[in-house]
């Protein structure tokens, strides 16, 4: 098969190519596309549009307290940014354990979102942060979609043929908030989460006033854990409350059996991971210096 390849330098040129060629597929860092093709899991598409040279898709800044990320923002920047580490720490946790150093320097936030893997690291933090993504089509048409609503299944999103994800907007954190992302892993690099969880908690007077929890690798898409969130709201920020929330998340989850883990194992580990990620998020809300990535810290904890 002959593969058609284009590398437009402008956003409108890329959108025109996508609109005119139904077979065209977008590539940015290529960390998923190339690996899948080399391993024989998925052939290269017959038409590739590379967007890595498009300046309009780059850049990142904090504006009025919100974090604005161009689609080409790479994981290495997210992992190392002082702003991200200070205010959106769960995103730094997740980005810092994506693949290898080479993967983090090449893979992008837009690619991670549009790849729509239920085990993707950075999506769960974006879900608990109530992040929004901008999808743009040819002719300047734009729409905004919640990060939580972007994926419809493994490898599938609500984006239509011809639309590009151009920007991610992450709101400012409320005072007294802390966040974390933790995954269950067998090794320290090039790992895929067996289960993972992101948490955002807002605490005042030792009581959890707001809690958001998102789970990875336990459903066809990354999902919230409303039962666990309900357990936490109004509860003291204590180990006992975190364990209760972990049990609630595990009881409500419906993970699958696959070659990497059984459903029963995932459910049992989810209870532990949720309790640990809540402890890390609450610790950060209280001013504890819990290092990035929180997954490394969590392995030494009793919960």
Domain 4-50, CATH among 1.20.120, 3.30.70, 3.30.43, 3.30.1460 = 3.30.43
Of the pLDDT bands very low, low, confident and very high (cuts 50, 70, 90), residue 298 is confident
Q: What is the pLDDT of residues 3-39, one digit of tens each?
A: 788 999 999 999 999 999 988 889 887 777 666 666 6
Nearest to 241 by CA among 223, 229, 226, 225: 229
| Average pLDDT value over all residues in the chain | 91
Tell me: cis bond preceding 293? Omega within 30 of 0 counts.
Answer: yes
The model's pLDDT over 267-281, given as tens digits with 9 standing for 90+, comes to: 999 999 999 999 999
Kindly report, residue by residue over 77-125, the tens digit of the pLDDT: 999 999 999 999 999 999 999 988 888 999 999 999 999 999 999 999 9
- Greater model confidence, 141 or 235: 235
- Which run of H or E residues covers position 214? strand 207-216
Note the pTM of the prediction, 2 decimals. Answer: 0.93
Topology (CATH level 3) of domain 177-298: Enolase-like; domain 1 (3.30.390)
d(CA 52, CA 151): 22
Q: Which two tokens stand for residue 21?
A: 């060629």
Residue 262 sits at φ, ψ, to 5 deg, of -80, 160
Enter the tokens of residue 183. Answer: 């995954």
Residues 6+ apart with CB under 8 A from 122: 75, 78, 91, 94, 95, 98, 109, 112, 113
In the chain, where the domains are located: 4-50, 57-170, 177-298
User: What is the rounded CA–CA span in Å between residue 24 and residue 146?
Assistant: 25
Residues for the chain: how many in total?
303
User: pLDDT-based confidence at 153, cuts 50/70/90?
Assistant: very high
The number of beta carbons lying within 10 Å of the beta carbon of residue 299 is: 11
CATH number at 57-170: 3.30.465.10
């Amino acid at each position: 098969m002959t593969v058609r390849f284009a590398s437009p330098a402008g956003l409108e040129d890329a959108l025109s190519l996508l609109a005119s060629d139904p077979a065209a597929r977008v590539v940015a860092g290529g960390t998923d596309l190339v690996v899948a093709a080399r391993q024989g899991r998925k052939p290269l598409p017959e038409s590739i549009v590379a967007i890595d040279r498009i300046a309009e898709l780059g850049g990142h800044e904090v504006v009025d307290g919100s974090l604005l990320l161009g689609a080409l923002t790479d994981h290495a920047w997210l992992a190392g940014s002082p702003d991200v580490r200070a205010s959106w720490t769960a995103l730094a946790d997740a980005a810092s354990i994506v693949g290898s150093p080479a993967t983090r320097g090449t893979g992008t936030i837009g690619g991670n979102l549009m790849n729509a893997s239920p085990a993707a690291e950075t999506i769960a933090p974006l879900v608990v942060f109530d992040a929004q993504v901008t999808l743009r089509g040819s002719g300047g048409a734009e729409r905004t979609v919640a990060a939580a609503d972007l994926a419809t299944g493994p490898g599938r999103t609500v984006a239509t043929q011809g639309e590009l994800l151009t920007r991610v907007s992450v709101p400012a954190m409320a005072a007294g908030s802390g966040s974390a992302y933790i995954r269950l892993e067998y090794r320290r690099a090039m790992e895929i989460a067996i289960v993972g969880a992101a948490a955002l908690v807002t605490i005042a007077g030792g009581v959890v006033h707001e809690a958001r929890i998102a789970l990875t690798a336990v459903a066809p898409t990354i999902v919230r854990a409303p039962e666990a969130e309900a357990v936490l709201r109004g509860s003291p920020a204590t180990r006992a409350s975190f364990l209760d929330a972990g049990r609630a998340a595990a009881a409500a989850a419906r993970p699958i059996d696959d070659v990497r883990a059984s459903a029963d194992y995932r459910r049992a580990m989810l209870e532990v991971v949720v309790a640990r990620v809540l402890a890390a998020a609450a610790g950060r809300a209280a001013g504890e210096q819990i290092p990035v990535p929180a997954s490394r810290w969590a392995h030494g904890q009793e919960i």
